[in-house]
Amino acid sequence: MLELLPILIATGAVVGFTAALLGVGGGFILVPIMYWAISGTGVAEDIALRTAFGTSLLVIVPTVASSTWRHHKKGAVMWRVALTLGACGAIGALGGSTLAAYLPAAALKVGFGVFILVISARMLVGIKSEGAAADWSASPRTISLVVLGLTMGVIAGLTGLGGGALMVPALVLLFHFPMLRAVATSSAAIIFTAPGGIIGYVVNGLGVAGRLPYSVGYVNIVVFLALVALSIPMAQVGARTAHAIDGRKLRILFVVLMVYVGLRMVGLFR
């Protein structure tokens, strides 16, 4: 594992910047790289994948907490929305991570990949109107937030993603949030969603043979420390950049991200 530390540290830097810039957890970068690194040490593929999921969620927490602090100082976080989404997301993530420990998630991944490709197309259509509408709701209905939070949490738990790939477009398309507020609020919600998935991966991985050394369940502490070394400071840079970029450009960046994630989920990228 020592020879992989430079790669993991560099990955953490990229993840921190990207997560803060786009309001996602960064799991779409973390999971494939960790899976490659861990399976390359001889760990069984199923254990390597679950360890990548669990460790990804742990890395996401301090990373998005760093970016959320910057967004909060700019007054961009809608805390009522974030707390509701995050609390419901934590419950969903606990269930999703438990399912991931026992059930194959291939079909769900493909379905979700197609789903976010459709959403990315819809968001691309609306780019011209970014920032023009004044009808966004700062107080969406609680029941809508509960449903969104639970759905996002299950997907986060099953895939090791923070849930921002679903949350940001939902806030933009369903509640007409300006892109920057959606990014900031999504980051805040992920802080509370990810721990539900972490608990599930820790509990369900205890006692499993063949894991990497220094693992707690399906969470590896050495990999976590290497990744967060630069992800936290780079999240500050990403958050500052988000506030300096025009909303249309931010939406385009997010659409590109979603297309990549969607194609990877349906199996185009391995």
Q: Mean pLDDT by 10-residue block, N- to C-terminus, for the chain (270 residues)?
A: 82 85 73 85 88 92 89 91 95 91 68 74 60 58 92 84 78 86 91 93 94 94 93 87 75 78 72
pLDDT score, position 132: 46
Residue 211: C-alpha distances to residues 49, 105, 215, 218 (Å): 11, 20, 7, 8
Q: What is the pLDDT of residues 126-149, one digit of tens each?
A: 555 454 445 555 678 899 999 999
| Block residue for tokens 């959606």 | 182
DSSP 76-118: ---HHHHHHHHHHHHHHHHHHHHHHTTS--HHHHHHHHHHHHH
* pTM over cut 0.85: no
pLDDT of residue 126: 55
pLDDT score at 188: 93
What whole-number distance in Å separates Cα of residue 72 and Cα of residue 259? 28
Whole-number Å distance between alpha carbons of 256 and 262: 10
Q: What are phi and psi of 82, to 5 degrees?
A: -60, -45
Backbone angles phi, psi at 220, to 5 degrees: -100, 125
